[in-house]
Amino acid sequence: MALSSSFLPAWLRNYRREKLGADLAAGLIVTVLVVPQSLAYALLAGLPPQVGLYVSIFPVIAYALLGSSMVQAVGPVAITAIMTYAVLSPLAAPGSAAYIALAAALSLISGAMLLLCGAIRLGYLAQLLSRPVISGFISGSAVLIILSQTKHLLGVSATGDNTWQVLAALLNQLPLSQVPTVAIGLSALLTLALVRTGLAGSLTRLGVSSARAAFVVRLMPVLVVLLGTLAVIAGDLDRHHGVAVVGSVVEGLPAFAFFLPAYDTCKALIVAASVMTLIGMVQNITMAQALAIKRRERVDANAELLGLGAANVVAAFYGGMPVGGGLSRSAVNVAAGAQTPLASIVSALSMIAVVAGAAHWLARLPLAVLAASIIVAAYPMIDLRALREAWDYDHADGLAWLGTAGGVLIFGLEIGIGLGVVLSMGTLLLRASTPHIAVIGRIPGSEHFRNVERHDVETIPGVVFVRIDESLFFGNLGAVELRLNQELENSTETSDLVLVMSAVNRMDATAVEVFAELNRELAERPTRLHLAEVKGPVQDRLMHSPLWASLSGEVFLSANAAFEKLGRQASRVLA
C-alpha cells in the first residue's frame, strides 16, 4: 500500500476533494480551447493535423504524473513546431512518411536527452543561455513563424530555404492572393488582434472580473474558428472558391508504435535535438517557475526535465511530434481554473473523445483562420522591450540579443543560438580581461577606503593603495600589470605598493607567477609589495605558492591595518 502509493505523484496522493470540480471543469474547457492550436502547430511543424491532437493525449498524462508544476500544460507549442519544420524540411518532404518518422525520432532523441539531464541533474546546463540570448532566439523564431503562416493568410504557396527566399516568394505571389481566403484570414486576424488588445480591458471596465475577462479572451479563437468553419460550409468556399482548409483529419486513435531511430538518423538530428532540449529546458523551467511563484509553489527543475522528457518520449511512440511547455496552453489552463495536474489528465482523456469522434468536423476549418490565430499568438513573442532593456543595461547584452535573433533569421535556428552562446561567452571574457582598478585612499575618520578620483580621501606619501576589482587570471594580467606600472610611474618615489584584494575572488597559477615576478621587479626599485584583505579561498591557495614566501612586504588583514602601520612608518621617516 505504502509502496504502491509512493509510486503516485505527491499531488495525487494527498489530493483534496474540493479541488475536483474545478479540475474537471478546467480540463473539459482546455480541451475545447486547445484543439485549434493543436491542429495549427501540427501543420506549422509540417505534420498531418491530427498529430497535434494525438500528442495532446498521452504525453500530457506523462507530464502530469512526473512533472512538478501544478498548472503547466504541455503539448504541441510554437517554438518546437517551427524548429521541427526548420530542421526536418531540408531532410524530407513535409507530410511524407519519411518526414513523420524523422519527427518521431527527433521527439524521441530530445526526450531521451531531457530524461538524462533530469536523471543526472544537469538542469543547470540551461544556464548556457543568457536571458538576452533566449529572448533573441524566441523573437527571431516568432518572426519565422509569422512568415511561415503569411502564405496561408494570402492563399498562395510560398516556400524557401531561408528567410529571404520565403520573403521574396511571398512578394512574388502577392498578386496571386485569393480574395475569399484573404477576406477570411484578415477578418480573423483583425478580430483576434482587437480581442487581445482591447477586449479584456473593456470587459473589466464593464465590471467583469479580470480573470473571467482573460478567460473570454482565451475563448475567442475557438469562436473565430467556428465562425470561419461555418462560413466555409455555408458558402462551399473550399470547393468553389479555392479556400484552403485543414482537409481530412484521420479519425480514431493511432496505435502505440515503439521504435528505435537508426544511427544515421541520430547523427543527422543530434544537433537539432540538443538545441531543442536546451530550449525546452529553459522554456519549461522558467515558465513553470513563473507560474509557481504566482501560486506560491515551488518547482523542482530536475522533476520538470523528467516530466518533459517522458512527455516527448511518449509523444515519439504515440503520434510523433515534439512537445513542450506551452505558454498559451498553460495560460488557458490557469484561466480555466485548473488546480492540479488532474485538469491536464481530464483534458487528455476528453481529447481521446475528440480524436475518436469529432475529428471530421475539423476537416473544413480554413487554414487562413488557423494561420491568423498562430500569428496572433506568435506576435507577442517578439520581445523588443527585452532588447531595449538589455541594450540600455549593457550594449554587449543587447548585441547578444541582436546576434541571436539575426542569426536565427539569417542562418537558421541552430546557428542562431550557437552565435548567441559564443557572443555571451566572448562578452564574459572581454569584460573579465579589462578589470576595474582603482587607486584608493581612506575616508577621513573612518575605516572605509574609496577611489581617490571619486572621493576626497587621505593618502600616505610614498604609499600607493590599489584595489583590483576582478578575479586574476591569465586573461587580464597584462591589463593589471600595465595599470600598476602606470600608477608607479605617476607617483615618484613609491616605497610601498598595497594591493587591496577584497574583490579578488580567485587567482590562477599564471596570476601567482606574474605577481611573483612583479614582486621581484619591485624589489629592484626598491618598492615593497603588500597584500591586504586577501579572501580566505585565495589565501588558502597562495600559502602554498612561492609568492607567499618571497613577498617583499606584508599581508594585512584589512586595508586599514596597512594604512595605520605604513602611515606610522612614513611619518617616522619624515620626522
Interaction of residue 12 with its own copies, rule CB under 8 A: no
549: CB partners within 8 A, 6+ apart: none
- In eight-state DSSP terms, residue 161 is S
Stretch near its own copies under the rule CB under 8 A, chosen from 41-49, 262-270, 338-346, 394-402: 394-402
Q: Does 478 participate in binding its own copies (rule CB under 8 A)?
A: yes
- Which of 175, 536 has the CB closer to its own copies? 536
**Cis geometry, peptide bond prior to residue 526 (ω within 30 degrees of 0):** yes
Cβ proximity to its own copies: between 39 and 468 the closer is 468
Task: Give the one residue of 25, 32, 116, 131 binding its own copies; rule: CB under 8 A.
Answer: 131
Q: Which of 28, 32, 122, 128 binds its own copies (CB under 8 A)?
A: 128
Alpha-carbon distance of 200 to 211, in angstroms, equals 9
Query: Which listed residue (233, 432, 439, 488) binds its own copies by CB under 8 A?
Result: 432
Cell 605598493 belongs to residue: 497
What's the closest the beta carbon of residue 99 comes to its own copies, in angstroms?
35
For residue 238, state whether it binds its own copies (rule: CB under 8 A): no
List the interface residues with its own copies, window 443-462 (CB under 8 A).
447-448, 451, 454
187 binds its own copies (CB under 8 A): no
Q: Nearest 10 degrees: CA dihedral of 150, 155, 156, 161?
A: 30
Q: Is 341 in the site for its own copies (CB under 8 A)?
A: no
Kindly identify the residues of this chain, within the stretch 269-328, that bind its own copies according to CB under 8 A. Answer: 289, 293, 296
Q: Which residues are 469's β-sheet partners?
A: 436
CB of 549 to its own copies, least distance (A): 13
Indicate the residue among 454 and 572 with the shorter CB distance to its own copies.
454
Tell me how far, at minimum, the Cβ of 420 lies from its own copies, in Å: 11
Q: Which is nearer to its own copies, 471 or 552 (CB)?
A: 471
- Which range, of 124-132, 217-225, 262-270, 272-280, touches its own copies by CB under 8 A? 124-132
To its own copies, the closest distance from the beta carbon of 534 in angstroms equals 12
- Interface region with its own copies, contact rule CB under 8 A, candidates 120-128, 272-280, 353-361, 457-465: 120-128
Q: Which of 352, 305, 349, 287 is nearest to 71 (CA)?
A: 287
Non-local (6+) Cβ contacts of 395 within 8 A are none
Q: Which helix (H) or strand (E) holds 369?
A: helix 367-378
Residues that contact its own copies, how many (by CB under 8 A): 65
Residue 309's alpha-carbon distances to 59, 85, 179, 297, in angstroms, are 9, 20, 44, 22
Q: Which is nearer to its own copies, 51 or 390 (CB)?
A: 390
Q: How many CB atoms lie within 10 A of CB 143?
A: 17
Q: Which of residues 18-57 bind its own copies (CB under 8 A)?
A: none
Question: In Å, how far are 122, 406, 415, 424, 431 from 127, measured between CA atoms?
Answer: 10, 21, 18, 11, 19
- Quickly list DSSP for 38-102: HHHHHHHTTS-HHHHHHTTTHHHHHHHHH---SS--EE--HHHHHHHHHHHTTTS-TTSHHHHHH
Compare residues 161 and 540 and give the one whose CB is closer to its own copies: 540
Q: Is 436 one of the binding residues for its own copies (CB under 8 A)?
A: yes
* Cα 350 to Cα 32, 308, 346, distances in angstroms: 9, 21, 6
Phi and psi, residue 210, nearest 5°: -60, -35
Q: Which is nearer to its own copies, 360 or 436 (CB)?
A: 436
Which of 144, 139, 231, 191 has the alpha carbon at shortest distance from 373? Answer: 191
443 by DSSP, 3-state: which?
Answer: coil
Residue with Cβ nearer its own copies (163 or 502): 502
392 lies in the site for its own copies, by CB under 8 A: yes
Should residue 393 be labelled a site residue for its own copies when binding is judged by CB under 8 A?
A: yes
Residue from 429, 458, 461, 573 in contact with its own copies (CB under 8 A): 429
In the bound complex, what is the minimum distance in angstroms from residue 447's beta carbon to its own copies? 6
DSSP 448-496: -EEETTTS--B-BTTEEEEEEES-B-TTTHHHHHHHHHHHHHHSSS--E
The answer to the question of residue 425 lying near its own copies (CB under 8 A) is yes
Count of beta carbons in the 10 Å neighbourhood of residue 240: 9
User: What is the β-pairing status of strands 463-469 and 74-75?
Assistant: unpaired
For residue 536, state whether it binds its own copies (rule: CB under 8 A): yes
Distance CA 537, CA 347 (A): 54
261 lies in the binding site for its own copies (CB under 8 A): no
Segment near its own copies (CB under 8 A); pick from 65-73, 241-249, 321-329, 466-474: 466-474
Question: Are 441 and 449 a contacting pair, CB within 8 Å?
Answer: yes
Binding to its own copies, residues 543-572 (CB under 8 A)? 544-546, 558
Q: Smallest distance, Å, CB 459 to its own copies?
A: 18
Which amino acid, one-letter code, is at 155?
Answer: G
Binding range to its own copies, per CB under 8 A, among 20-28, 213-221, 270-278, 536-544: 536-544
Q: Does 474 bind its own copies (CB under 8 A)?
A: yes
Rounded to an integer, what distance in angstroms lies between the CA atom of residue 269 and that of residue 104? 11
Minimum CB–partner distance for residue 304 and its own copies (Å): 13
Q: Tell me the per-residue interface mask from 491 to 510 with its own copies, x by CB under 8 A, - otherwise.
A: -----------xx-xx-xxx
Give the position of cell 593603495.
Answer: 465
Q: Shortest Cβ distance from residue 569 to its own copies (Å)?
A: 23
- Residue ranges that bind its own copies, judged by CB under 8 A: 123-124, 126-132, 289, 293, 296, 389-390, 392-394, 396-397, 424-425, 427-429, 431-433, 435-436, 447-448, 451, 454, 469-471, 473-479, 502-503, 505-506, 508-510, 512-514, 517, 520-521, 524, 535-537, 541, 544-546, 558
